[in-house]
A = this chain, B = another copy of it.
Amino acid sequence: MSEPFRPGGDGVRTRLFQIIFESDTPLAKGFDIALIAVILASVAIVLLDSIAAWEAAYGEWFYWLEWGFTLIFTVELALRVYCLEKPWRYLRSFYGIVDVLAVLPTWLMLILPGSWETLVIVRLLRVLRIFRVLRLMQFVSESRLLLDALRRSVRQIILFFFSIFMVVTIFAAVMYTIESPEAGFTSIPMSIYWAIVSLTTVGYGDIVPMTSLGKAITVMLMLIGYSIIAVPTGVFSAQVIRAIREERYSDEACPGCGHDKHERRARYCLLCGTWLDETSADPRLAAAGRYGEPGSDE
């Protein structure tokens, strides 16, 4: 999207930058893998620490491990800031904010005891940073394929959610009128919750229709939900197929003969030989000019 980050001038900072921010060298790949491991481990500690029995048994272990991870992340953040040309730009970026939030809560605990709970959310946000690692690894092309298909599907998906909103609101209002509050339909928002539970085929069963008419309407809602899942699936499938094809073939028509299925690497039309790259001159014409017409400006 935006301009990539750049290392600060000297050799040590540039080498650090290559290890931390890039993933071309074996050392940089090793750093990525180690970082993923530490992040997963640190998330695991947060998860286990939330179980009362484990907290009682291993609370002190978790405490020191938590500090260990915080120190690792702090050092890593310091190195990131140190090796960048414009550290403030990084700190104001999404990943920079997540980096800071990953270490801030534990440090705040020294000053503000009892803020342990808020740490949970902040730490989990850090998990999102793994996406960057993924993006730098082998998953580039596939990820781009999915994102491309998603971007092309987004209008139909919005229209789809708009339709769902209509259907759900109308069914919820109808059921609110038909069913009694004792069945759980205490308000229209509660009915909307029930309608989405039913339409998405989740079906908790915490709110179910009690009357015959309510059950008949529920049947309609469930069949709608069961069928319209075909809409996002169909749209997304079509776009993935298009994205896979376009990864290899260009859809642009040849200016000479109209043929429109050339491989991306093609430079000449495979049917009529016309030069396809409109942003530059045909080297054959340039060659013809150079040798065949003496006195040209080349």
Chain B positions within 8 Å of A262 at CB level: 258
A146 touches B235 (CB 8 A): yes
Decide yes or no whether A30 CB sits under 8 A from chain B. no
A230 touches B237 (CB 8 A): yes
Decide yes or no whether A50 CB sits under 8 A from chain B. yes
Which A residues from 150 to 180 make CB contacts under 8 A with B? 155-162, 164, 166, 169-170, 173-174, 176-177
How many copies of the shown chain assemble into the complex? 4
Which A residues from 263 to 288 make CB contacts under 8 A with B? 263, 266, 270
Chain B positions within 8 Å of A270 at CB level: 257-259
With A and B bound together, what is the CA distance between A47 and B176 in angstroms? 11
Tell me the smallest distance from the CB of A188 to a CB of chain B, in Å. 4
Contact A236 to B234, CB < 8 A, known contacts A193-B215, A244-B242: yes
Chain B residue at smallest Cβ distance from A171 = B124
Total interface residues on A, CB under 8 Å, equals: 95
A164 touches B223 (CB 8 A): yes
Tell me the smallest distance from the CB of A94 to a CB of chain B, in Å. 14
B124 touches A173 (CB 8 A): yes
The 9 lowest CB-CB distance pairs between A and B, nearest first, are A258-B270, A202-B203, A234-B236, A204-B205, A200-B226, A234-B237, A230-B236, A50-B188, A205-B205
| Sample (11) of A-B pairs whose CB atoms are under 8 Å apart | A120-B173, A127-B166, A142-B156, A157-B227, A192-B219, A200-B201, A201-B201, A204-B204, A229-B229, A233-B236, A237-B238
A201-B203, A238-B241, A258-B262 are known; give 17 further A-B pairs, CB within 8 A: A51-B189, A120-B173, A121-B174, A121-B177, A128-B166, A134-B162, A161-B227, A190-B215, A196-B222, A197-B222, A200-B223, A202-B222, A226-B229, A233-B233, A238-B244, A242-B244, A253-B263
Binding site for B on A (CB under 8 A): 43, 46-48, 50-52, 117, 120-121, 124-125, 127-128, 130-131, 134, 138-139, 142-143, 145-146, 149, 155-162, 164, 166, 169-170, 173-174, 176-177, 186-190, 192-193, 196-206, 208, 212, 215-216, 218-219, 222-223, 225-227, 229-242, 244, 248, 251, 253, 257-260, 262-263, 266, 270
